[in-house]
């Protein structure tokens, strides 16, 4: 079956521009997570959705970052006024529910480069 997909796979933008990163979770998965992974580091939690609502957005670094999941399926991570420090791989994961012991299924990531 189809796994988690993310588009685009690569995004190059200029400092100050706005970007949107898209995540298509596995069908039927109610929980969706966004992470950011910088070179040489493990993923860093950004936000967790249960259905349409953000149940935990404590990992968003500042108010330039925002994410939505309006119909409880596809999610979009939005970054305003991008900075060079935002360059990283952005990972999306989904799971069958928000139970903390559940396996999270990851997409291949979107590599964001801010010039």
Residues found near another protein in the complex (CB under 8 A) = 3-4, 33, 35, 40-45, 48, 55-56, 58-59, 91, 93, 98, 100-101, 103-104, 106-109
Spell out the residues 6+ positions from residue 91 whose beta carbon is closer than 8 angstroms to its own: 6, 34, 35, 36, 37, 43, 106, 107, 109
Distance of closest approach, residue 14 Cβ to another protein, in angstroms: 26
Tell me the two tokens of residue 50. 């249960």
User: Based on CB atoms, which residue is closest to another protein, 14 or 27?
Assistant: 27
Which of 65, 5, 13, 62 minimizes the C-alpha distance to 32?
A: 5
User: Based on CB atoms, which residue is closest to another protein, 80 or 102?
Assistant: 102
Distance of closest approach, residue 33 Cβ to another protein, in angstroms: 8
């Amino acid at each position: 079956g189809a796994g988690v997909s993310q588009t685009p796979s690569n995004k190059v933008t200029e400092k100050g521009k706005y970007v949107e990163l898209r995540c298509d979770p596995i069908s039927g998965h109610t929980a969706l997570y966004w992470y950011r992974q910088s070179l040489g580091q493990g993923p860093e939690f950004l936000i967790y959705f249960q259905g349409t609502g953000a149940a935990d957005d404590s990992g968003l670094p500042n108010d330039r970052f925002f994410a939505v999941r309006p119909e409880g399926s596809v999610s979009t991570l939005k970054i305003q006024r991008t900075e060079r420090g935002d360059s990283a791989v952005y990972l999306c994961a989904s799971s069958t529910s928000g139970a903390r012991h559940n396996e999270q299924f990851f997409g291949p990531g979107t590599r964001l480069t801010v010039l």
